Each structure stands twice: as structure tokens, then as C-alpha cells.
Structure 1
Amino acid sequence: MVMSVRMAPPLPLIILIMIHRVSGADWDVSYSPSHICALKNSSVIMSCTYTYPTGHQIMKVFWSKNNVKGEDHPDLSEDPEYSQRLQYLGDTQQDCSIRLSHVTQKDEHMYYFRFITDKPDGKWTGDPGVTLTVTDLQVEAPERVTEGHNVSLTCNSSCTLTDRATFIWYRNSQPLTERRDGNNQLLLQSVRREDAGRYSCALHGHSYISPAARLSVTYAPKNVSVSINGSGEIVEGGSVTLSCSSDSNLPALNFSWFKGGRLVGSGRIYSISNISSDHSEEYKCKSISEHGEKYSDAVTLNIMYPPKNVSVSITGSGEIVEGDSVTLSCSSDANPPALNFSWFKGRNLVGSGRIYSISNISSDHSGEYKCKSRNKIGEKYSDAVTLNIMYPPKNVSVSITGSGEIVEGDSVTLSCSSDSNPPALNFSWFKENQSSAVGSGQSFSALQSGRFYCEAHNQHGSQRSDAVTVIVKGRLVILYISIGVVCGAAVIIGMLIW
């Protein structure tokens, strides 16, 4: 915004010069002018001429401010109040002008010129004399103006100055402009807040400066800002106070608080108790006065809190098969972000870091895993996740059920068991040296002598058990279970059942 400072257009200044002549026959005193309006502390010249009859010789000339008949006419040059300030500029012929310096309101009088000749009746006083009025200057200005408006200041005097006046303006005791104008008005256009101050006026060539008048410039709130109480970190569970301030020379009528774009409070102070991470967002305030409103810049509440929502994710999808590689990732919501992670299988610490990797995974890795996330505010465990490792049957074995005597015509029940994930649901029974299965299912009834084994299947593979030997003799059934080889010879444990 550009502000122009200029003097208002000059108004016509009319000075009426009155030449006052006081005469009688050949006696004469003329004053020009007969009324003088002078500025306080200035010098005034009272112009005067006089004549007298031929044959008279001037004996004394002087000025007085008393012309009461029958009383003395005191000579002002002999008056202590005037002697240092009064200078006679005339002569003893016809010029009777004087200069009176440093005039004040006490000098407001009618002044008379008197001269005395050498004749007994040769005395004369120019009556009426010169009327002197002394004025000061006063700045007339509105108490306040709204920013952007125009305002006019006037330099007033109590009477019309006799001399043509050139006005000078000051703001805060500094000359406002080098421009001088005969007009007594100062026009400020498109006022800015910088135009506020104490204005005074003076006349060029005079030392007197008027008393200052204060001009206030009112404006809408500016420089609106938000401050956060205290210092350091804001930790979840604590309390926070936000304060709104603005630059305005009129009190704010209201303050409003916004979180994001949503109104959340009013008043210069906005307090939050038991603060949580949900309060982390941008806040700003709006200052409102009778001249307008303005928003502050946004401030962000950075709430510190320990890890929460800690969780474990498993890379990939679908089944985890023995021999694969698996990566577990730990994530959490924390401020400051968690940089320390620990991994547990059951209660055992098994690793650290945000990522925990297992290569060539086996069934031994099956179990519950969880991670612990930690920052400087606190720590938290995730819920447990279970690694379900898929693997083909292993540790396949045959067990014998039933008890008592086994005679010819009876049967022996063999049961097949295995360790697998998912559990094996498909079992096949074989007799050694035969390519085709002799039975299926987890149990098998043997009716004849021979070596038998089972084979367990799931979708990831199969495995066969060791063979067991069944011998039937008459009604004597001898069951042998081969369990190994020692020193190159088979070791057989036999059982006789009668």
C-alpha cells in the first residue's frame, strides 16, 4: 500500500491592511496595519509614520501602552518588561516604527506612538494606536483513524496571522516533509499504521512549535501467532496450553481455535489436559477485532508416546513349507519412532531388529513368535503369531496292539503312526518283496507270517516305517521284530505266545 503525504490545496489567504491615520491640522500619526495578529515568541514590527507643523523640533519620541487622559504616558523602552525586547527603528523626522521581540499573550495591548516637540503645546499621541493580538498554534486532528482511510489535520490559530504564513509539519518531533505550504492543512492519504504518532505544526522562520496532537491508526489484527507453554517434549498424558497473541491497537473482541479446519475452542488460551497422540495435528487461532480478523500460522503439536499397535507380519502368503525361508516384520505406532526391536519365541529371546529372518525353516521353528518395540518413552509387546510349518511325514513307526495267545487262525493288529503337518491321513501297508500294497489305513491285521511295514502320506510327501516280522506256527505264533544289526548279524527279539 502506498501512502501519499501532501499538503491540502491552499486556501485563499486574505490579509486586510488597514492604514490608520491619526491627524489634527499638521499633526499626524499613521499606523500600517492598525491590527496585528502575531505568533507567540515571534518578533513584530509596528510600522508607523508621523508629521508635525513646521517650526517644531522633535525633542522626544517613544511608544506607550497607556493613553488615559490626565495620566502619564510611560515610555516602554524604560519598562523592564520591554526594554530588552523593544527596538526603535524610526528616526526623529517621520518614521516611528518599532520591533517588539518574543511576544507573548501578556503583550496583547493597544500601543501608541507619542512625540514631544520644543513647543509648550507641542505634544502628540497617535490615538487610536496599534492593536496587538498574540496567538499560539493548535493541531486539530481526529483521535483515531482506520488504516486505509484519508485524514486531514489542521493547524489552527486564534486570529488571522498578519504575515503570510508558511506551515511546517512534524511527526514525533521530526520534520514530516520538506514541502512548505501556505495552507494550514495536512492531508494523509491511505493511512498506514506507521502514520500514527504525535503531530505538531510551526511557521517557517519561527521557532515556536505547537503542542502535539496524538493520532491513532486503528487496524485489523496483524502478526497473529501461537505460543506453546513450557519447553521440551510434550509427552502423552501431560497438559498443554496454547496462547494466541496479535498485534493490534484495539483489544481483540474474540479468539477462535482450530484443529485442522475444525473449530475446537475460543478465548486467548486453549488448554488440553491428559493429552494423547490423537491431539497431534496442526492448530491455529483467529484473532477478531472490530476492524477485521486474521489467522495465525499453524503450529503442530508433536506428542511423544510409547509404542502402541505393535504387530507382526509374515512375508508372503499361503503355506510355509519346511525348507522355505520366512521373514517376520515388526511394526508399531510410536513417537519418536521405535528403533529398538526384540524377538521372542515363547519366552526365549531369539533375535533383534525390525526384521527377523529364518532360512531353511524346519518343523523345529514351529511356535508362537512376538516382538517387543521400544523407544525412549516406553515399550510394548505385539500379540503372538504362530508359525505353522508344513512338512512331510517323519518318524514313521509300527506298533502292535492286542494281547493274549495268538494261534493259527487268529490275527495280529499293526498300527502305523507318524509326525507330519498336516497330519497324514493316507497309510499303505506292504509285505516285503511284494510290489503291491497288502492293505491301507492306519491299522492293518496280519493273518500270515512275514515282514510288514507301513508308508504314511500327506500332500508334502511320504515316508515308510521299518519292517516288523510276523511268524505263525500251528497254533503257536512267534512274532519277531527286527530292530537292528549288530556286528554284521541280525539281532532278533522273539516272543512266544501260547
Structure 2
Amino acid sequence: MYIKCDCMHVDSSLFCADGPDLPQIDVTPSSGTEGGFSALEKGNISLMCQASSNPASQYYWFYNNSHIYSRPQLTIIKILRMQTGNYTCQAKNSYLNTTSTKTTTLTVYLPVSKPYVLLSDSSPVEGMSLWMRCVVEKGTGPVNYSWEQESQSGLLTTPASWNNSLVNVTSVTRNHSGWYRCLARNAVNQQRSEHTWLDVLCKWVDSYPFYSMC
């Protein structure tokens, strides 16, 4: 990269003006995403810009190409999702009239709320169909889901194929009885639901003499 440089003698010393180098942007609190950073809605976020330059750089911040601030550190209090976008730092060497810029993308997320589980039937009979839904009322997508089942014997499993908010079971068995909860996560947080009990009932043969197939 070519850097403009200008030197002169000042008070028997050699003064060389150069820069600015490519700025570095540091975000606090830091949570990196692909191509940028993320922040929690209504949280505080600070963007610090630094670029080596002689004399020292002057700094200008732009949001989606509009100038918004003229200091090295840009702090946003209680940031909102509407403030998602591209933040550009421009460093300027006023002596050489040279500039250098760096842009980062800041995505503001609403954390997922605590989910809860809905069952189409909490006491289905063996062989019946059933659906379970993990409900999240708030949260910026995409939201990913997983499920946990704790059997009556206390065995905890995480069904690998249950990775959606809606799970359909075409034919329940007694093995499906147990405690269920779901986990919902997005880019900034995750939440687990409370446990929900599913009790699969025995199927009785509808002929005399009546008997259970369990």
C-alpha cells in the first residue's frame, strides 16, 4: 500500500508526516458475526477507531454513508434494531489532506424470550398422532431449536432429528412418556423452557373381555 509521506526540518529535527494507516475498529462489548459485530437491543455499544498517523489522525464516523460523529470513540446508549447497518470510520491526516477508511457491519438483535412448550394432547393414547411446538414470542431470527426428553426412569436424551420449533409424532408409544423442554437460540443468547409432562396412555382393546395392550 502506498503511503504519502512529506518530510521537513523543524528546529534542527527532521519531521516526517505520513499516514493515516488503515483504521482498526474495536467494538465493546465484542460479539463477532460473519462480516461484522452484533449487539443486544437496548444495550450500550462502543466503537473505537484507531489509525497510525503523523500528525495524529482526526476521526469521522459515518452510519450508512451519513456523517454522525467526529471523535475516535462512538458510543451508542440503548441501541435499537433500527440502528443496524454499516458503520464507517474515516481517519484523516489534516497536514497531508489524506484519508483512510474502514467499514464494519453492526447487527442489533432482540434476545430470544423464554420459550414454552405447547402439546396438542398431554395424555394421548398409544398409536395416536401428536404435535409439540416450542413457542418463542420475541427474538430476532433466525432462531434455532433443539429438544430434550427426560424419560420416566430419568434418562435424558436429545433427539437429533428434533431441530425445529414444531415436532410431529405420527404414532406415539409409551416410550414417548416423560418430561420435555425445548431450547431456542439466536446469534446473541439462548433460553430453555420449563419442563412439560407428556403421559402416553395404554391402548385398550375395544372387545370383550377388555384388556390393556401395555
Sort the TM-score into its range (normalised by shorter chain): 0.3 to 0.5
TM-score (norm 1): 0.23
TM-score (norm 2): 0.47
Higher strand residue share: 1
Q: Which has the higher contact order (CA 8 A, sep 6+)?
A: 2
